């Protein structure tokens, strides 16, 4: 594992005590070597994959979930079928989207058909009310966010890089869920492994934009350095609190995809790498 300099030993501000309240839970399924990182907060089958337990080779070894990064499509098919099985979904019951760093939300009423987990269209969030159908997003440093709505009986998967955090793709998703009967106070949200503040450095006008949107604690300045560290999960948790969600409704997994060699990392691997899949099955 490449060594990275940790600026602050404190991964997240004290206000995110919710991390300790719910915490991550790692579950293995059957006799396979695959495992999904899960949140104790969610009650429906779900998980955040790492890079182990698949059949891809080279920089995509081994559980790459994306056909758009140069990997062998047949290997990706197998990987996605295994991932669907981990949440109890058939290979033809996994719906994903072609992620474009926007704020479009798609509803999945069935999987696309054709290749396993083929994208329904351009969007960065996908939700479903169809029991048995799983929805997923692909990441390699960006934030994967899974949402469970036990009142409206629907689930969502959201992809948010810094553009999606500032653009509030998660808020757009919650608005769609509310149109289908969701009550904000009953939602459960899990933010999965992503690049954390230890590794996410930005410059230009981005630090000021984040401070304006999420308050001063979202950035960490280091004396003598032009770049500033931004805490993307904190920004998302802050926006959820602003919408009225309680701390017990939000689980922020602390894993950093760039620090931790278990994960694919776009930054660490200089762009030539695979993607994890974060998925949730509607089981209401």
As measured in angstroms, the least distance from the Cβ of 5 to Zn ion is 10
Nearer to Zn ion, 127 or 263 (CB): 263
Q: Which stretch binds Zn ion (CB under 5 A): 110-118, 189-197, 209-217, 218-226?
A: 189-197
233 Cβ neighbours under 8 A, 6+ residues apart: 12, 16, 143, 191, 194, 196, 252
Q: Are the C-beta atoms of 247 and 21 separated by less than 8 Å?
A: yes
Number of amino acids touching Zn ion (CB under 5 A): 6
Which of 65, 140, 160, 198 lies at the binding interface for Zn ion (CB under 5 A)?
Answer: 198
Sheet containing 143-149: which strands, arranged edge to edge? 105-108, 125-128, 154-160, 143-149, 188-191, 250-252
Residues 259-278 that bind Zn ion (CB under 5 A): 259
As measured in angstroms, the least distance from the Cβ of 118 to Zn ion is 32
166/186 Cα distance (integer angstroms): 24
Nearer to Zn ion, 67 or 258 (CB): 258
Residues 240-259 that bind Zn ion (CB under 5 A): 256, 258-259
Nearer to Zn ion, 3 or 114 (CB): 3
Nearer to Zn ion, 4 or 212 (CB): 4
As measured in angstroms, the least distance from the Cβ of 150 to Zn ion is 33
30/215 Cα distance (integer angstroms): 44
Nearer to Zn ion, 168 or 201 (CB): 201
Query: From start to end of the chain, where are the E strands?
Result: 24-28, 35-39, 46-49, 94-98, 105-108, 119-122, 125-128, 134-139, 143-149, 154-160, 188-191, 201-202, 219-221, 228-230, 250-252, 276-281
As measured in angstroms, the least distance from the Cβ of 205 to Zn ion is 23
Residue 27 class from Cβ within 10 Å (0-12 exposed, 13-18 middle, 19+ buried)?
exposed
Residues 39-78 that bind Zn ion (CB under 5 A): none
N-to-C CA span, the chain: 41
Nearer to Zn ion, 178 or 217 (CB): 217
As measured in angstroms, the least distance from the Cβ of 32 to Zn ion is 28
As measured in angstroms, the least distance from the Cβ of 254 to Zn ion is 10
Nearer to Zn ion, 227 or 243 (CB): 227
Q: Which of 44, 114, 126, 14 is nearest to 73 (CA)?
A: 114
Q: Which stretch binds Zn ion (CB under 5 A): 50-58, 130-138, 167-175, 196-204?
A: 196-204
97 SS3 class: strand
Q: Which of 165, 221, 226 is nearest to 191 (CA)?
A: 165
As measured in angstroms, the least distance from the Cβ of 260 to Zn ion is 8
Which spans of this chain sit near Zn ion (rule: CB under 5 A)? 196, 198-199, 256, 258-259
């Amino acid at each position: 594992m490449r060594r990275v300099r940790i600026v602050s030993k404190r991964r997240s501000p004290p206000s995110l005590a919710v991390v300790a309240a719910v915490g991550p839970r790692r579950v293995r399924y059957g006799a396979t070597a695959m495992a999904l990182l899960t949140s104790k907060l969610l009650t429906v089958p779900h998980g955040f994959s790492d890079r182990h337990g698949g059949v891809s080779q080279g920089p995509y070894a081994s559980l790459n979930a994306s056909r758009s990064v140069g990997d062998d499509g047949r290997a990706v098919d197998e990987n996605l079928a295994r991932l669907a099985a981990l949440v109890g979904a058939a290979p033809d019951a996994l719906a994903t989207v072609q992620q474009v760093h926007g704020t479009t939300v798609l509803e999945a009423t069935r999987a696309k058909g054709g290749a396993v987990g083929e994208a329904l269209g351009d969007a960065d969030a996908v939700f479903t009310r169809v029991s048995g159908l799983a929805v997923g997003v692909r990441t390699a440093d960006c934030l994967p966010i899974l949402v469970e709505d036990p009142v409206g009986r629907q689930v969502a998967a959201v992809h948010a890089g810094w553009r999606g955090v500032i653009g509030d793709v998660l808020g757009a998703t919650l608005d769609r869920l509310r149109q289908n009967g969701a009550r904000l106070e009953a939602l459960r949200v899990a933010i999965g492994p992503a690049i954390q503040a230890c590794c996410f450095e930005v410059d230009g006008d981005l630090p000021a934009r984040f401070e304006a949107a999420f308050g001063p604690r979202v950035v960490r300045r280091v004396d003598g350095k032009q770049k500033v560290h931004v805490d993307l999960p904190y920004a998302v948790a802050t926006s959820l609190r602003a919408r009225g969600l309680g701390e017990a409704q939000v689980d922020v997994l602390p894993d950093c995809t760039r620090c931790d060699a278990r994960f694919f990392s776009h930054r660490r691997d200089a762009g030539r790498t695979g993607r994890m899949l974060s998925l949730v099955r509607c089981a209401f």
